[in-house]
Amino acid sequence: MSVHRIPSKASSSGESRDDRLAPVIYLPGARPAAATEDALLPEGAEEAAAVSQADAPAAGGSAAPASSRRGPERQARRAENVSLAGLTRRNMSRWEIEGLLRSREIDEQLIEAEVARLESVGLIDDAALAETLVRTQHERKGLGRQGIVSELRRRHIDQQLIDEALEQLEAGDERERARELAEKRASQLRSYDAATAERRLTAFLTRKGYSSSIVREAVAGALKGGSRSGGVRFE
């Protein structure tokens, strides 16, 4: 390193000042260790550096990643998003929501908390869901009592809630629905002989979950002229 002196300019009085040192210019790679970046930090950068240093691991240790430090909060938000997305598609039972959250690898404690939150605001209600399913499965899909029970059990609704929901389904309604289904189905079996049509119609209503007594009554009405439509003629 070389230092050059530059002559000072003469003052207005003609007298000369003391010589001053020129700026020091370092050769590439010769910057001294004492000249740190801290000296060049803008205002406010020291606080940011202190925060970064607080996150840094201590000597001989390792720092937990930011995701793990914020893990529970982020997981809770994720659990909420997953459950609400599922509920916007269709009504779900408690068991179905728990299964959905587990499939997304949500922590069990967070699953329990999320399910409790959904129940507290009425977004999960197995009793109300059971009543809705009894009505819709019977009216729209034409299921009989046993068919409805199987559907609710598949969704892991408690048996007591199932029994209570089935109280709205009266025997007269079930017989009427079975009769309607039998007449509609019988009209599609005209090309079969009477025995084959009876066998197929019986199997159809049985799969729907109707009891044997209701099935026999509905089949007889549809195939033997006991229905209001006057029955169906077969080959």
| Bridge partner list, 6 | 20
Between residues 96 and 71, the one the model is more confident about: 96
Structure tokens at 149: 């029970």
The chain-wide mean pLDDT, for the chain, equals 78
Helical segments of the chain, H only: 45-55, 66-69, 71-89, 94-103, 108-120, 126-139, 145-154, 159-166, 171-186, 194-207, 212-223
**Half-sphere exposure (Cβ direction) of 20: Cα atoms closer than 13 Å:** 7
- Give the residue among 69, 41, 44 at the shortest CA–CA distance from 55: 69
Q: What are phi and psi of 2, to 5 degrees?
A: -120, 145
Higher-confidence position of 68 and 98: 98
Q: How far apart are CA 25 and CA 22, in angstroms?
A: 9
Taking a C-beta distance cutoff of 8 angstroms, is the pair 173, 135 a contact?
no
Q: What is residue 23's predicted lDDT score, i.e. its pLDDT?
A: 56
Is it true that 72-124 and 171-223 share their CATH fold?
A: yes
Residue 86: which pLDDT band, with cuts at 50, 70 and 90?
Answer: very high
Residue 80: CB atoms within 10 Å = 16
pLDDT for res 33: 47
Is pLDDT at 218 greater than 90 in this prediction?
yes
Q: Flag whether pLDDT at 99 surpasses 50.
A: yes
> CA 166 to CA 148: how far, in whole Å?
9
The domains of the chain are located at: 72-124, 125-169, 171-223
pLDDT for 10 equals: 46
CATH topology assigned to domain 171-223: Arc Repressor Mutant, subunit A (1.10.10)
Our CA angle for 50, 56, 60, nearest 5°, is 135
Fold of 72-124: Arc Repressor Mutant, subunit A (1.10.10)
- What's the token pair of residue 215? 């099935």
Backbone torsion region of residue 142, taken as left when φ is above 0, otherwise alpha when ψ lies between -120 and 50, otherwise beta:
left
Cβ-count burial of 167 within 10 angstroms (0-12 exposed, 13-18 middle, 19+ buried)? Answer: exposed
| Residue bearing the bigger pLDDT, 122 or 17 | 122
Token pair 């559907």: residue = 151
Residue 185 in contact with residue 173, Cβ under 8 Å? no
